[in-house]
A and B are shown apart, each in its own frame.
Chain A
Amino acid sequence: MTSIRKDLAAVSRREFLKASGLSAGGLIVGVSLPVSLLGSAASTEFQPNAFVYIAKSGDTTIWCGRCEMGQGISTALPAAVADELEADWARVSVLQGDANKKFGPQATGGSNSINQMLEPMRKAGAAGREMLVAAAAQTWNLPVDKCYAKLHVVYNHVDDRSLPYGDLVELAAELTAPEDPVLKTSDQFRYIGKPLQRHDQADMVVGQRVYGADSKVPGVKYAAISHVPVLGGTVKSFDKAAAMEVPGVVDVVLIPRFENAYGSVGGVAVVADNTWTAQQGLTKLNIEFEAGENGSYNTTEYKKQLVKNVEVPATKEFEKGALEQAFELAAVRHKATYVGGHLSHSPMEPMASLVWVQDDKCEIWASTQDPAGIQKTIGAYLDRKPEDITVHVMASGGAFGRKFKCDYVQEAAACSKAVGAPVQLTWSREEDTQTGYYHSCSAQHIEASVDADGKVTGWLHRAAFPAIGSTFNPAVVQPTAGDLDAVSKHPYGIENMQVESGMAKAHTRIGWYRAVYAIFYGFAINVFTDELAHAAGVDTVQFLRNIYDNNKVAEQQEQAKRCRGVLDKAAEMADWGKKLPANQGMGIAVHHSFHSYVAMVVHVETNGDDITVKRVDCAVDCGLVLNPDIATAQMEGAIIMGVGLALNTEISFEDGAVVNSNFHDYPVLHIGDAPAEMNISFINQGVSPTGLGEPGVPTLAPALANAVYAANGKRHRSIPINPA
Chain B
Amino acid sequence: MSYTITINGQVHKTDVNGDMPLLWFLRDTLELTGTKYGCGIGLCGSCTVHIDGNAMRSCLMTVKASNGKKVTTIEGLSKDGSHPLQIAWLSNNVSQCGYCQPGQIMTAADLLAKNPDPSMEEITTALEDNICRCGTYKRIGLAVADAAKQMKGA
Top 9 nearest A-B pairs (CB, nearest first) are A207-B34, A640-B135, A397-B99, A70-B97, A204-B98, A637-B135, A207-B74, A70-B96, A214-B33
**One of A200, A348, A671 near B140 (C-beta < 8 A):** A671
Let me know if A349 and B99 touch, CB within 8 A.
Answer: yes
Q: B27 to A275, Cβ gap below 8 A? A: yes
B66 within 8 A of A: no
- A residues 320-375 in Cβ contact with B at 8 Å: 346-350
B54 to chain A, nearest CB (A): 19
Encode B82-120 as 1/0 by CB contact (under 8 A) with A: 000110011001111111111001000000000000000
Tell me, yes or no, whether B137 is within 8 Å of chain A by CB: yes
Query: Which of the segments A117-125, A555-563, A661-669 contacts the partner chain?
Result: A661-669
Q: B146 an interface residue at 8 Å Cβ cutoff?
A: no
- Residue-by-residue, is A528-570 near B (CB-CB < 8 Å gives 1, otherwise 0)? 0000000000000000000000000000000000000000000
| Residues of B close to A429: CB separation below 8 A | 38-41, 44
Known: A70-B134, A638-B135, A671-B130. A201 touches B95 (CB 8 A): yes
Contacts A201-B90, A671-B140; is A398 near B133 (CB within 8 Å)?
Answer: yes
Closest Cβ of chain A to B25, distance in Å, is: 8
Query: Which residues in B have their C-beta under 8 angstroms from that of A69?
Result: 97
Contact B135 A663 (CB under 8 A): no
Interface check A489, CB cutoff 8 A: no
Q: List 30 A-B contacts (CB under 8 A).
A: A195-B93, A197-B93, A201-B98, A204-B89, A204-B102, A205-B90, A207-B74, A207-B102, A209-B98, A247-B17, A248-B17, A275-B37, A347-B99, A347-B133, A348-B99, A348-B131, A350-B38, A398-B133, A426-B37, A429-B38, A429-B40, A429-B41, A633-B139, A662-B43, A663-B131, A664-B43, A670-B128, A671-B124, A671-B141, A672-B124
Residues on the A chain within 8 Å of B74, using CB: 205-207
- Cβ of A115 within 8 Å of any chain B Cβ, yes or no, is no
> Any chain A CB within 8 A of the CB of B52?
no
- Max chain A C-beta neighbours (<10 A), residue from B31, B35, B41: B41
- A211-B99 in contact (CB<8A): yes
Please encode chain B, from 22 to 57, with 1 for each CB lying within 8 Å of some chain A CB and 0 for all others. 001001110111111111110110100000000000
What's the nearest-Cβ distance from chain A to residue B42, in Å?
A: 10
Contact of B137 among A273, A426, A671 (CB under 8 A): A671
Task: Check B81 against A206 for contact (C-beta < 8 Å).
Answer: yes
Bound together, the chains give a CA A205 to CA B37 distance in angstroms of 16
Q: Across the interface, do B138 and A674 meet the contact criterion of CB distance under 8 Å?
A: yes
Contact of B131 among A395, A426, A668 (CB under 8 A): A668
Which residues of chain A are within 8 angstroms of B27 by Cβ–Cβ distance?
214, 275
Instruction: Encode contact with B along A188-219: 1 for CB under 8 Å, 0 otherwise.
Output: 00000001011011111111111101101000
Please give the distance in Å from A257's CB to the nearest CB on chain B.
26
Find the B residue at minimum CB distance from A211.
B99
Report whether over half of chain B's contact residues are helix, strand or loop; otherwise say mixed: loop
Beta-carbon contact of A197 and B137 below 8 Å: no
Determine the chain B residues whose CB is within 8 A of the CB of A198 once the complex forms: 93, 95
Chain B interfacial positions (CB closer than 8 Å to A): 16-17, 20-21, 24, 27-29, 31-41, 43-44, 46, 73-75, 77-78, 81, 85-86, 89-90, 93-102, 105, 124-125, 127-141
Counting CB contacts under 8 A, is A694 at the interface? no
- Across the interface, B98 reaches (CB within 8 A) one of A70, A346, A672, namely A70
**Contact present for B129 and A662 (CB under 8 Å):** no
Binding site for B on A (CB under 8 A): 69-72, 195, 197-198, 200-211, 213-214, 216, 222, 247-248, 273-277, 346-350, 395-400, 426, 428-429, 629-630, 633, 636-641, 662-664, 668-672, 674, 678
Q: Which residues of B contact A214 (CB under 8 A)?
A: 27, 33
Closest to A640 in B: B135
Instruction: Check B34 against A206 for contact (C-beta < 8 Å).
Output: yes
Q: Which of A207, A274, A398, A636 has the most CB of B within 10 A?
A: A207
Whether A347 contacts B97 in the complex (CB less than 8 A), given A207-B75, A247-B17, A668-B131, comes out as yes
Closest to A274 in B: B28
- Distance in Å: Cβ of B27 to nearest Cβ of chain A: 7
- Given the complex of chains A and B, what is the CA–CA distance between A222 and B124 in angstroms? 36
Which has the most chain B C-beta neighbours within 10 Å: A70, A400, A428? A70
CB of B133 within 8 A of CB of A671, answer: no
* Inter-chain contact B97/A348, CB cutoff 8 Å: yes
Interface residue from B43, B77, B98, B99 paired with A663 (Cβ < 8 Å): B43
Residues of B within 8 A of A208 (CB): 34, 75
Cβ-defined contact, A205 with B136, below 8 A: no
Determine if B137 and A674 form an interchain contact, defined as CB atoms under 8 angstroms apart.
Answer: yes
By the criterion CB–CB under 8 Å, are B37 and A350 in contact?
Answer: yes
Chain A residues with Cβ under 8 A from B128's Cβ? 670-672
Q: Are B75 and A662 within 8 A (Cβ)?
A: no
Residue in B closest to A196 when the chains form the complex, CB atoms: B93
Whole-angstrom CA separation of A429 from B34 in the bound complex = 18
Closest Cβ of chain A to B74, distance in Å, is 4
The minimal Cβ–Cβ distance linking B100 to chain A, given in whole angstroms, is 5
The complex places the Cα of A469 from the Cα of B126 at a distance, in Å, of: 44
Are A395 and B97 neighbours in the complex by a CB distance under 8 Å?
yes
CA distance A165 to B35 in the complex (A): 40
Distance (whole angstroms) from the CB of A359 to the closest CB of chain B? 27
* Docked-complex contact A277 and B17, CB < 8 angstroms: yes
Residues A216 and B73 in contact, CB atoms below 8 Å apart: no
Distance between B144 CB and nearest chain A CB, rounded to angstroms = 10
**Given known contacts A207-B35, A213-B37, A348 and B95 CB-to-CB distance under 8 angstroms:** no
Q: Complex Cα distance A662/B59, Å?
A: 14
The answer to whether A633 touches B93 (Cβ under 8 A) is: yes
A640 touches B137 (CB 8 A): yes
Cα A662 to Cα B128 in complex, Å, equals 17
Q: Nearest chain A CB to B60's CB is how many angstroms away?
A: 13
Q: Which of B35, B73, B90 contacts A197 (CB 8 A)?
A: B90
CB of B75 within 8 A of CB of A202, answer no
In this complex, what residue of A is CB-closest to B82? A206
Whether B29 and A274, one on each chain, are in contact in the complex, defined by CB atoms closer than 8 angstroms, is: yes
Q: How long is the Cα–Cα vector from A276 to B16 in the complex, in angstroms?
A: 11
Chain B residues whose C-beta falls within 8 Å of the C-beta of A397 in the assembled complex = 36, 97-100
User: Is A637's CB under 8 angstroms from B134's CB?
Assistant: yes
- B134 close to A275 (CB less than 8 A): no
B95 touches A205 (CB 8 A): yes
Select from chain A the residue with minimum beta-carbon distance to B21.
A276
- Complex alpha-carbon distance, A397 and B35, angstroms: 13
- The reply to whether A670 and B96 contact each other, CB–CB distance below 8 Å, is no
Chain B: minimal CB distance from A167 (Å): 32
Complex Cα distance, B34 from A216, in Å, reads 13
B90 and A398 within 8 A (CB): no
B38/A348 in contact, CB under 8 A: yes
With CB as the reference atom, state the residue of chain B lying closest to A663: B43
What are the residues of chain B within 8 A of A213 when measuring CB–CB? 33, 36-37
Provide the bound-state CA to CA distance between A211 and B46, in Å. Answer: 14
State the Cβ distance, A662 to closest chain B Cβ, in Å. Answer: 5
